[in-house]
Structure 1
Amino acid sequence: MLPELPPLPGLTRAEGELVDRYLEVLDLLGRINPARGRDTYQGLRAAQALVVAAKGLCGALTLMYERGERKVYAGTLARAMRVLDGERRAGRVMLPPPSAS
């Protein structure tokens, strides 16, 4: 049985969209990362999808701004990203540790 995840902190709809779009961009960057990639086609497809995802991220931030949500509550958003496995997802963007060859 899987351990129960902590609940997501309370977010506005726009903050939730921001977190979702940001994590989507991270996932795509992880797939593009040449130090972790398997082939160029996978990276190409992820790069193409990144354009759409970046527009979605921009849209989420624009919506927040237009709604008067000027402040970003970094601690709350970071907790939400941790619940959604953000640390693992962000780790795929990093360089892997050097191999012991």
Structure 2
Amino acid sequence: MLPPEPPKLPALTRAEGRFIDAYLAVVDQVGRINPARRDHTYGALRAAQALVRSAVELRDALAQMHLRGESDLHSATLEEALRVLDGERRALQVTLPQPRDE
């Protein structure tokens, strides 16, 4: 028996796709830096270094959209893409974890 088909990604422009990919890369890196969820500095350092690259890619994607005249973000479509790409789980890594029972 095959696993169920994942939901289909909504139609995005190439620039929107780059924007979503870069945004999620930034979220992933910030989640790896989150001091409430990490125990070692080396992994956080590497994530912080990668964050710079991801932020540049995010800026470039948004600049390309702006230069092409894409002045509006279609939040419903972009939200759907984020959900399909597991954005909710990935964004949870940025937040504080639930308090531990002591």
Query: What TM-score does the superposition give when structure 2 sets the normalisation length?
Result: 0.96
Matched, 1:52 2:50: no
RMSD: 0.7
Q: Give the aligned length.
A: 101
Residue 2 of structure 1: how far off its partner (Å): 3.0
Aligned partners of 2:29, 2:3: CA distance in 1, in Å?
26
* Gap regions ≥5 residues in structure 2: none
Aligned partners of 1:44, 1:55: CA distance in 2, in Å?
17
Amino acid at match of 2:99: P
**What is the percent sequence identity of the aligned residues?**
56
Aligned partners of 1:17, 1:93: CA distance in 2, in Å?
21
Aligned partners of 1:8, 1:77: CA distance in 2, in Å?
10
* Gap regions ≥5 residues in structure 1: none
Cα-to-partner distance string for 1:49-78 (whole Å, 9 max, x where unaligned): 101100000000000000000000011000
Correspondences of 1:68-87 after superposition (within 5 Å): 68-87=69-88
Q: Which residue of 1 aligns with 2:22?
A: 21
Q: Which residue of 2 aligns with 1:39?
A: 40
SS in 2 for 1:42: helix
Matched, 1:10 2:17: no
Runs of 4 or more, structure 1, over 4 Å off, are: none
Amino acid at match of 2:87: G
Amino acid at match of 1:6: P
